[in-house]
Amino acid sequence: MQLKDSSLLVEACFIDGAWVGEGATPVTNPVNGAVIAKVPHFGAEETTRAVEAAGRAQAGWAKRTAKERAGILRRWFDLIIANRDDLALIMTSEQGKPLAEARGEIDYAAAFIEFYAEEAKRLYGETIPSPWPNARMVVIRQPVGVVAAITPWNFPAAMITRKVGPALAAGCAAVVKPAGETPLTALALGLLAERAGLPAGVLNIVTGSAKDIGRVMTEHPLVKLISFTGSTEVGKLLMRQAASTVKKVGLELGGNAPFIVFDDADVDAAVEGAMASKFRNMGQTCVCANRLYVQAGIHDAFVEKLAARVKALKVGDGTEAGIEQGPLITDAAVAKVEEHIADALSKGAEVLVGGKRHPLGHTFFEPTVLTHVKKDMMIAREETFGPLAPVFRFETEADVIAQSNDTEFGLAAYFFSRDIGRIFRVAEALEYGIVGVNSGLISTEVAPFGGVKESGIGREGSRHGIEEYTELKYMLLAGLDK
């Protein structure tokens, strides 16, 4: 890995302002399994030290003015952008996404730091007309305190800054556990935060036993909020563990996004939207189109155009120019795609494009389109998290809304239509936290990102995202007439 600044490849954890621990656990490149670095395998003891360091640092950090906190966050943003290429190469090397996508994620991740540096100065309170003549009522926002964050491998930078940005801006201190597959991006971000002048203990990053680290994060009384992005299964476990000390929780969990194309859609735009949503990060995002519903009138035209675009996707090592699809994160991820395809074919689906492991081997998989897909198939009920586009044909608006909502998930949904009445009817009827209309991409730091049902609790991004890291305090000031 040829970095401009080799010091950004960090093989230690960040606790109380010190880089500690020996590289023990290998981090591998999903292209070929090669070991690219080793990071510490920490557990309960080190996580407790990190939480206590955060507890010591948090009060002083909260006492700084919002402007001071904003200044340090802004410097962190500047350093992330200045080191964009190195951070992207680290990310591609440990996660596999093509460099162009990795650079895009670094920009997206940095945008959360920039946005919340600004929002730090706009955490307003309020006064309320008092029902008592000798009293005044004031409401202020205060930081919740120490925040613990557990993040996934699919967005190794953005899922950290989407949590840590608002937390630090609000005056909280944080302890972060990145995914075991992709710790290097997190550690590099931590180094840049230190260089930006973040005080010791305000940000701590611990790698190692997810179970042991998570147990401390969810049960230590000093931790006031646990924020998690990942599978619904793990989210439920963490929520149960956090109940022991009644912590606030922020959960961004699994999805099962419907992508609906109506007869009145712009078919070319719908195809491009499907490509952008379905194949972003090799299909490994919680907001990827997971089910493509195409109305009978334009089904064949849409499928033909989609197949041509999917066939043309360039698969390979993401560090090479022009590559659009890299490897999947692990062999288990490939096995899940294969399981969904095998189940669908056994129930009557047909492979139109791809359908098997790529000749490049390892965890590369052919971008795939299935047709004749039906709702009794696993692919209709489970999040595939891979480059697999299953196409369902449908007849009526009512039927496709019912099918789209027939899931325990409720994160993102998409549809293409140029009928204004249909746009309002369908957007309001879909049971999802996010609805993309005539677009396959919805993610930005300025909008509230989050799901309903079993896709999560809370919102990240937007002005709402920082409010999650604060508590409202109501103060009644009486005796003012004496």
Ligand X SMILES: NC(=O)C1=CN([C@@H]2O[C@H](COP(=O)(O)OP(=O)(O)OC[C@H]3O[C@@H](n4cnc5c(N)ncnc54)[C@H](O)[C@@H]3O)[C@@H](O)[C@H]2O)C=CC1
Ligand Y SMILES: O=C(O)[C@H](O)CS(=O)(=O)O
Q: Which residues would be at the binding site for ligand Y (CB under 6 A)? A: 152, 154-155, 158-159, 229, 252, 285-287, 443, 449
- Given candidates 29, 47, 95, 154, which one binds ligand X under the rule CB under 6 A? 154
- 230: contact with ligand X by CB under 6 A: yes
The binder of 141, among ligand Y, ligand X, none, by C-beta within 5 to 8 A per type, is none
449 contact, one of ligand Y, ligand X, none, CB 5-8 Å limit per kind: ligand Y
Q: How far is the CB of 255 from ligand Y (least distance, A)?
A: 8
Q: Which is nearer to ligand Y, 114 or 194 (CB)?
A: 114
234 binds ligand X (CB under 6 A): yes
Q: Is 262 in the site for ligand X (CB under 6 A)?
A: no
Closest approach of ligand Y to the CB of residue 103, in Å: 14
User: What's the rounded Cα separation, in Å, for the pair 212 and 210?
Assistant: 6
Active site residue 252: yes
Beta bridge partners of 392: 293
Long-range contacts of 64-70 (CB under 8 A, 24+ apart): 64/171, 66/120, 66/121, 66/123, 66/169, 66/171, 67/120, 67/121, 69/117, 69/120, 69/168, 69/169, 69/171, 70/117, 70/118, 70/120, 70/121, 70/169
Q: Which stretch binds ligand X (CB under 6 A): 5-13, 38-46, 137-145, 208-216?
A: 208-216
Does 290 bind ligand X (CB under 6 A)? Our answer is no
- The single residue of 52, 105, 119, 252 carrying the catalytic annotation is 252
The interface partner of residue 54, options being ligand X, ligand Y, none and the CB cut-off 5 to 8 Å by kind, is: none
Does residue 252 bind ligand X (CB under 6 A)? yes
Which partner in ligand Y, ligand X, none is near 211 (CB below 5 to 8 A by kind)?
Answer: ligand X
Residue 136, beta-bridge partner list:
477
Q: Is residue 265 a contact partner of residue 298, using CB atoms and an 8 Å limit?
A: yes
Smaller CB distance to ligand Y: residue 201 or 235? 235
- Select 357 or 463, whichever has its Cβ closest to ligand Y: 463
* Binding segment (CB under 6 A) for ligand X, from list 99-107, 194-202, 249-257, 293-301: 249-257
Give the Å distances, CA to CA, from 437 to 75, 257, 258: 36, 13, 12
Nearer to ligand Y, 286 or 307 (CB): 286
Classified as helix, coil or strand, 295 is: strand
**What is the smallest separation between the CB atom of 375 and ligand Y, expressed in angstroms?**
24
Shortest distance in whole angstroms from residue 296 CB to ligand X: 30
In the complex, least distance from residue 72 CB atom to ligand X, rounded to whole angstroms: 26
214 belongs to the binding site for ligand X (CB under 6 A): yes
Residue 102 in the binding site for ligand X (CB under 6 A): no
Task: Map the footprint of ligand X across residues 325-384, applying CB under 6 A.
Answer: 383
CB of 344 to ligand Y, least distance (A): 23
Give which of ligand Y, ligand X, none residue 20 binds (C-beta under 5 to 8 Å, depending on kind).
none
Q: Indicate whether 450 belongs to the interface with ligand X (CB under 6 A).
A: no
Contacts by 464-468 with C-beta closer than 8 Å and gap 24+?
Answer: 465/116, 465/162, 465/166, 466/116, 466/119, 466/120, 466/123, 466/166, 466/169, 466/170, 467/123, 467/141, 468/166, 468/225, 468/227, 468/248, 468/250
Please list, residue by residue across 227-244, b when 16 or more beta carbons sit within 10 angstroms of its beta carbon and e when fewer do.
bbbbebebbeebbebbee
In this structure, the strands spanning 35-39 and 25-28 are antiparallel
Scanning 4-12, 15-23, 127-135, 144-152 for contacts with ligand X by CB under 6 A, the matching segment is 144-152
Select the span of 27-35, 117-125, 185-193, 228-236 touching ligand X (CB under 6 A): 228-236
3-state secondary structure of 24: coil
Yes or no: say if 260 and 426 are a contact pair by the CB < 8 Å rule: yes
> How many residues in the shown chain lie near ligand X by CB under 6 A?
22
Q: Which does 231 bind (CB under 5 to 8 A by kind): ligand X, ligand Y, none?
A: ligand X
Is residue 182 near ligand X by the rule CB under 6 A? no
The closest of 227, 229, 190 to 207, measured between CA atoms, is 190
Which CB, 114 or 181, lies closer to ligand X?
A: 181
**Residue 211 binding ligand X, by CB under 6 A:** yes
User: What is the spatial distance between Cα 132 and Cα 134, in angstroms, rounded to a whole number?
Assistant: 6
Q: Helices 99-119 and 84-95 meet at what angle, rounded to 10?
A: 120
Residue 286 identity (one-letter amino acid): C
Whole-angstrom distance, CA of residue 55 vs CA of residue 38 = 28
Closer by beta carbon to ligand Y, 20 or else 210: 210
Stretch that binds ligand X, among 85-93, 152-160, 269-277, 373-381 (CB under 6 A): 152-160
d(CA 405, CA 27): 39
End-to-end CA gap in the chain = 72
Contact 391, 303 (CB under 8 A): yes
Task: Find where tokens 């009486």 sit.
Answer: 478
Region near ligand X per CB under 6 A, out of 24-32, 229-237, 303-311, 347-355: 229-237
Residues lying near ligand X in the complex (CB under 6 A) are found at 150-154, 177, 179-180, 210-211, 214, 229-231, 234, 237, 252-254, 286, 383, 385
> Catalytic residues, which ones?
252
